[in-house]
């Protein structure tokens, strides 16, 4: 399989799951001290992950939690962020200029900042007090922090059971999804690698990832035009520009917003002959209880999207690492 090292994938996910001890040590301490609310701050892909964390928590929690765009925070601020706030960020490079500037401003306010950094030896690593350093698996890190916060507020009573299943089965299950999806991904890319525009539709804990996949992968890394739209919003405008040949992909996950994406999936065949439905239900996740599949579905989609990326990169002969303008020009 192209660009796929099973053992490396397994180690990466299992290593991320082991961060839970570090995460819990930190979150338990913050919970003991008390906090007023939780802010997930990011920009671009990390902003999208922040959206996912907030929707993940909304499923269960009455904790005040919201996401904030780093660049917007710099200019507008957010009076809900105070010294009682827990701010959680993630960064691969540790040097994204908007996030560095936002965190400096947040430190003046006195909020507590937890940073997941792939690279701790970085500008963010230098200024943040609480760093957990480990590569990739951003969404998993965010969900583990969110889940611990909810567990400590008695909003996730079966937390231990869930993570027992995750520790035992998650990595292997997701690797199996990748292998199972590879042929689909290849055919999908053969059909769509030259689309003039591709619409991606998603909801719930997959919405942030849908936004990010369209923008941070197709636009930024494949230089392919794409638009993302929330499943519920699709019916309030975007549907009118869809016709027989318009490429539309719908992610149908298993959280509470499944019905919203199912509605799009059921509607599309009436008006469109070029749609793709990616349903996490089509993938076995042995050892993961039915009731947890909604939480796990973004990881199923992530594994499938990774396969699409691997084939897209090859078929379009477009290395995903190159950028036309980002960090190439000054602006």
Q: Which residues bind its own copies (CB under 8 A)?
A: 43-45, 47, 55, 58-62, 64, 66, 69-72, 75-80, 98, 196-197, 203-204, 214-216, 219-220, 223-225, 227, 229-233, 235-241, 255-260, 263, 266-267, 270-271, 323-326, 329, 331
Contact 174, 301 (CB under 8 A): no
In the bound complex, what is the minimum distance in angstroms from residue 13's beta carbon to its own copies? Answer: 25
In the bound complex, what is the minimum distance in angstroms from residue 73's beta carbon to its own copies? Answer: 10
* Closest to its own copies by CB, 9 or 220: 220
Contact 165, 70 (CB under 8 A): no
How many whole angstroms separate alpha carbon 112 and alpha carbon 106?
Answer: 9
How many whole angstroms separate alpha carbon 102 and alpha carbon 97?
Answer: 9
| Helix ranges (DSSP H) in the chain | 6-17, 20-33, 45-58, 70-76, 97-109, 123-127, 138-152, 159-165, 171-192, 207-212, 231-234, 258-271, 293-315
In the bound complex, what is the minimum distance in angstroms from residue 15's beta carbon to its own copies? Answer: 27
* Closest to its own copies by CB, 286 or 327: 327
* Closest to its own copies by CB, 178 or 248: 248
In the bound complex, what is the minimum distance in angstroms from residue 148's beta carbon to its own copies? Answer: 18
* Closest to its own copies by CB, 237 or 286: 237
* Closest to its own copies by CB, 69 or 306: 69
User: Three-state DSSP class for 290?
Assistant: helix
CA-based radius of gyration for the chain: 20
Angle, CA of 210, 177 and 297, to the nearest 5° = 40
Contact 240, 211 (CB under 8 A): no
Closest CA to 139 of 37, 56, 224: 56
Look at phi and psi of residue 65 and say left if phi exceeds 0, alpha if psi is from -120 to 50, else beta.
beta
In the bound complex, what is the minimum distance in angstroms from residue 276's beta carbon to its own copies? Answer: 18
How many whole angstroms separate alpha carbon 279 and alpha carbon 203?
Answer: 12
Residues near 259 by Cβ (< 8 Å), separated by ≥ 6? none
In the bound complex, what is the minimum distance in angstroms from residue 108's beta carbon to its own copies? Answer: 16
In the bound complex, what is the minimum distance in angstroms from residue 31's beta carbon to its own copies? Answer: 18
* Closest to its own copies by CB, 101 or 120: 101
* Closest to its own copies by CB, 26 or 143: 143
* Closest to its own copies by CB, 164 or 223: 223
* Closest to its own copies by CB, 9 or 279: 279
How many whole angstroms separate alpha carbon 148 and alpha carbon 20?
Answer: 9
In the bound complex, what is the minimum distance in angstroms from residue 281's beta carbon to its own copies? Answer: 17
In the bound complex, what is the minimum distance in angstroms from residue 5's beta carbon to its own copies? Answer: 27
138-152 vs 293-315: helix crossing angle, rounded to 10: 170
């Amino acid at each position: 399989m192209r660009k796929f090292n099973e053992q490396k994938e397994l180690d990466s996910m299992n290593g991320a799951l082991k961060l839970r001890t570090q995460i819990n040590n930190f979150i338990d301490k913050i919970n003991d001290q008390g906090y007023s609310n939780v802010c997930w701050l990011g920009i671009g892909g990390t902003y999208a992950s922040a959206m996912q964390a907030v929707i993940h928590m909304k499923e269960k929690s009455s904790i005040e939690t919201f996401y904030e765009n780093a660049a917007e925070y710099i200019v507008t601020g957010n009076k809900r962020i105070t010294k009682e706030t827990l701010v959680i960020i993630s960064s691969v490079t540790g040097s994204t200029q908007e996030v560095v500037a936002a965190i400096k401003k947040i430190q003046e306010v006195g909020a507590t900042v937890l940073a997941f950094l792939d690279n701790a030896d970085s500008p963010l690593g230098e200024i943040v007090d609480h760093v957990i350093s480990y590569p990739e698996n951003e969404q998993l890190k965010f969900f583990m922090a969110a889940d611990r916060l909810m567990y400590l507020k008695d909003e996730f009573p079966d937390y231990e059971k869930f993570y027992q299943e995750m520790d035992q089965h998650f990595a292997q299950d997701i690797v199996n999804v990748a292998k199972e999806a590879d042929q689909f991904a290849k055919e999908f890319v053969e059909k769509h690698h030259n689309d003039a525009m591709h619409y991606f539709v998603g909801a719930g804990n997959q919405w942030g990832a849908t936004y990010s996949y369209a923008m941070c992968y197709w636009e930024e890394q494949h230089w392919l035009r794409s638009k993302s739209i929330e499943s519920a919003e699709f019916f309030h405008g975007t549907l009118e520009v869809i016709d027989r040949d318009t490429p539309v992909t719908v992610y149908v996950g298993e959280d509470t917003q499944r019905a919203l994406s199912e509605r799009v999936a059921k509607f599309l065949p009436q008006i469109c002959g070029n749609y793709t439905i990616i349903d996490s239900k089509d993938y076995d996740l042995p050892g993961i209880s039915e009731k947890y599949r909604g939480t796990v579905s973004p990881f199923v989609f992530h594994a499938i999207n990774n396969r699409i990326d691997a084939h897209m990169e090859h078929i379009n002969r477009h290395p995903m690492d190159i950028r036309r303008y980002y960090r190439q020009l000054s602006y």
